[in-house]
Chains A and B, each alone.
Chain A
Amino acid sequence: MIFQDYKLLQDRTVFDNVALPLVIAGYGHHEIARRVRASLDKVGLLGKERKYPMTLSGGEQQRVGIARAVVNKPPMILADEPTGNLDPELSAEIMKLFEQFQQVGVTILIASHDISLITQMNRRVLKLDHGQLIAS
Chain B
Amino acid sequence: MSGYRPDGLEDAFTSDDPERAGATARGAATDVDAVPAGAETTPDVQVPRIGVVGWLRWVWRQLSSMRVALMLLMLLAVAAVPGTIFPQNAQDPAKVAAYLADHQALGPWLQRLQLFDVYSSVWFSAIYLLLFVSLVACIVPRTRVHLTALRARPPRVPRRFDRFPAQGGLTTTATPQQVVDSAAVALRGPWRRLPRFRVDVSTEGGEATVAAERGYLRETGNLVFHLSLVGLLIAIATGQMLHYRGQALVVQGHGFANAVVDYDTFERGTAFNPSSLVPFSLRLDAFSARFSPVSLQPRDFTADVTVTQPDGSASAQQIKVNHPLDVGGANIYLQGNGYAPDVVVRDSAGNVAFSGPVPFLPQNAVYTSLGVIKVPDVTRGDQIGFRAALLPTAQQDTDGVWQSVAPQPANPLMVLTVWTGNLGLDTGVPQNVYKLDTSHLKQVMGPDGQAVSLKVQPGETVALPNGLGTLTFKALPRYVALDLRYDPALTEVLVFALLALAGLATSLFTPRRRIWLRVRIAADGRTVVTAAALARGDDIGLQPELDRVLAVVGRDLGIAEDEIARDAAVGDDASAVRDARAAQENEHPEEHR
Specify whether A and B are partners.
no
